[in-house]
Amino acid sequence: MSEINILSPHVADLIAAGEVVERPASVIKELLENAFDAGAGNITAELRGGGMTYIRVTDDGCGMLPEDAGLCFMRHATSKLRDERGLEGIGTMGFRGEALAAIAAVSRTELTTRKKGTQQGTRVLLEAGEISEIAPRGCPEGTTLIVRDLFFNTPARLKFMKTDKAEAAACAAVALRCALGRPEVSVRLIKDGEELFFSPGDGQLSSCIYSLLGRDTAKELLACASEDEGIAVSGFVGSPRAGHGNRTKQFFFCNGRSIKSQLLQAAVEQAYRNTLLTGRYPACVIGLRLSFGAVDVNVHPAKTEVKFRDEKKVFDAVYYAALSAVEGESRTAEISLSPATRAAAAPKKDFYKTLRADEFRAGLPQNAVRAPGVAPPRAGTPASGGFSAEKGTVVWNRAPAPGASAGGTLVRESGTPYRASPRAVPAEERCPSPEAAQTEPAETSAAAQGLIPEPHGNFRLIGEAMKTYILAEKDDSLILIDKHAAHERMIFDRLKKQDRALMSQTLLVPVTLRLLADEIALLERSREALEDLGFEIEPFGADSVVIRSLPADTDAADAAAMVEEICEQLGKNGAPSGKDALDGVLHTVACKAAIRAGRSTEAGELNQIVAEVVAGRVKYCPHGRPVAVTLTKKQLDKEFSRIV
């Protein structure tokens, strides 16, 4: 006797239903998407018992004719797709005709609907997919679907459900994603009688973000947009100052559909390389518009994954949109003072809670969501009157490092290959360096001598504190700058922009450095790139290299430590000629070439750094730390109780 059975349609339906309806959150998502497809302007979703006992979604969309009200629960019943040609360009959220059939198969369902412009509504009752009643019913135009006792007939699935609280949280997360993707629709979510959120539906993504994600998130976001080759990107990305510990604040949409996409995630995160600390993630709400034919949404029954026809183009579009927003960010970090001051500045409301439309409009600060490059208005700041950096070449006069001979070379003890241990690099010269500022005897530089009265551009250099921080005044703000970090960034950017070989300095006495065989191989493989940066490094015997030249701005005393660090950077990614590895090398060179904390610096150099920071060209060090903090007069006045 044959061992193979043909499953009954009932079992086959239950299996198929399981793919679409995994948990209450899937029901919420499908019902919201149906309401969007129906052209609704207002949707209310309500859940009880974590969505397991009761889900109701009401919309004011197109509604259904009486003859469709029963039909819509059949498998593969859809008004959104006619034939296979339609699959090539899907412009609706749904198209598979599966959701209502699947939901009805595993619950007790009630549909009330009235087609727009018709007089009579219809009510349909179903139990485990079977219609028990269908009758005319008076009701408003639009559709209401009630789903009770989810999985009552599939105990196996029921066992996998989490607590009501967890299921409700999943429902809220899904509903929020759906609502964020449709700023033109007002969505309200109610849980056990309490309103969880409400989006105003005014078509503005910024308002939608403000009401759904809260004020704090909204005010950190920078607008980003681009349109090229049929791909339009619009939305917001987080300020690099506001990195998060995970990716829960990243939202992606494709033609209004909330999607998960590692491609888009990578594109956004790539734009923050060198501005966001490792392990921190940017927030973003990014929407893509592209022709329906350029994306395949039919990859998975839940339709949360999509396939782009040209992934590279999509990646680039998102990457450059995010990058221009990040680069346009021109605000320096603001300092936090005492807890009292912080409390005064803190938002008074819990903005995660629902705001009514009028409350919400009244509360929206003008700069809640800023356009890229537009700094928040500050009292006393003239609207125009930008700063123009001083012209002329900058000469970075650095004091010779201890241990460097007059000729800028390192004299090595004969016989012992030089291998710098971390300790060999003085603490104040490593990154991060500020906290390690050392107490050298007072210097005679202008900065060390006191105030520099000359106003410079639109700021005034006050001087240098602890040989580590630059103090400057601009308008009604005091700016504190980490001089090493800022200068490191300036050099890093310059190195990155450079398209020809850098100036090199030949060491009077070449430095020999013992390395592992694979480190030597890495240096060999990257030889050309390193030469462009000013390094001349040759193999020397089986286990050593000889360093003959270094980039012009670096210290000969750092030669060995620098090359070791470069080996580490090149080895890290297993891609020695890859961009990441070269960025790492540039970090090393920039760090070594930058002026150091713990040593006094000429006023001219300090002025140049402040000029770059004030002009918004230098915001983060290459490791992602902010280079400057500002302290406003208002904050100080509060500290001193001049104002309350």
Where do contacts with Mg ion occur on this chain (CB under 5 A)?
A: 34, 94, 99
Instruction: Report what 80 binds from Mg ion, ligand ADP, none; CB cut-off 5-8 Å by kind.
Output: ligand ADP
Measured from the CB atom, the residue of 99 and 628 that comes closer to Mg ion is 99
Helices (H), 50-163: 66-71, 99-105, 155-158
Minimum CB distance to Mg ion smaller for 39 or for 373: 39
630 binds, among Mg ion, ligand ADP, none (CB under 5 to 8 A by kind): none
Pairing of strands 250-254, 221-228: unpaired
Helix-, strand-, coil-residue percentages of the chain, each rounded to 5: 35, 25, 45
Residues that bind ligand ADP (CB under 6 A): 30, 34-35, 37-38, 59, 61-64, 72, 77-80, 94-101, 143
- Say if residues 582 and 550 touch (Cβ distance below 8 Å): no
Q: Residue 33 Cβ, how far from ligand ADP at the closest point, in Å?
A: 7
CA atoms within 13 A on the CB side of 212: 29
Least distance from C-beta 103 to ligand ADP, angstroms? 8
Q: How far apart are CA 446 and CA 452, in angstroms?
A: 7
Could you tell me the smallest distance in angstroms from the CB atom of residue 103 to Mg ion? 10
* CA angle at 63 for the pair 62 and 66, rounded to the nearest 5°: 140
Which of 56, 54, 50 minimizes the C-alpha distance to 171? 50
Q: Is 545 helix (H, G, I), strand (E, B) or coil?
A: strand
Closest to ligand ADP by CB, 35 or 470: 35
* Nearest-angstrom CA–CA distance, 394 and 612: 12
Closest residue to ligand ADP, judged by C-beta, is 94
- Alpha carbon distances (Å) from 43 to 34, 93, 180, 256, 487: 11, 16, 13, 16, 53
Is the Cβ of residue 129 or residue 584 nearer to Mg ion in the bound state? 129
Closest distance to ligand ADP from the beta carbon of 67 (Å): 12
Cβ distance to ligand ADP smaller for residue 134 or 629 = 134
CB of 79 vs ligand ADP, minimal distance in Å: 3
Looking at the Cβ atoms of 34 and 261, the one nearer to Mg ion is: 34
DSSP-assigned beta bridge partners for residue 626: 620
Residue whose C-beta lies closest to Mg ion = 94
Q: Which does 408 bind (CB under 5 to 8 A by kind): Mg ion, ligand ADP, none?
A: none
Q: Report which of 103, 98, 94 is spatially closest to residue 38, judged by C-alpha positions.
A: 94
Query: Which of residues 23 and 29 has its CB atom nearest to ligand ADP in the complex?
Result: 29
Residue found under tokens 């903090």: 629
Residue 31 or residue 591: which is nearer to Mg ion going by CB? 31
Shortest distance, position 26 Cβ to ligand ADP, whole Å: 12
Cβ at position 255, least distance to Mg ion in Å: 15
Q: List, as one string, the DSSP characters of 568-635.
A: HHHHHTS-TTSHHHHHHHHHHHHHHHS--TTS---HHHHHHHHHHHHTTS--B-TTS-BSEEEEEHHH
Considering the complex, what minimum distance in angstroms separates the CB of residue 179 from ligand ADP? Answer: 16
- Which does residue 239 touch among Mg ion, ligand ADP, none (CB within 5 to 8 A, set by kind)? none
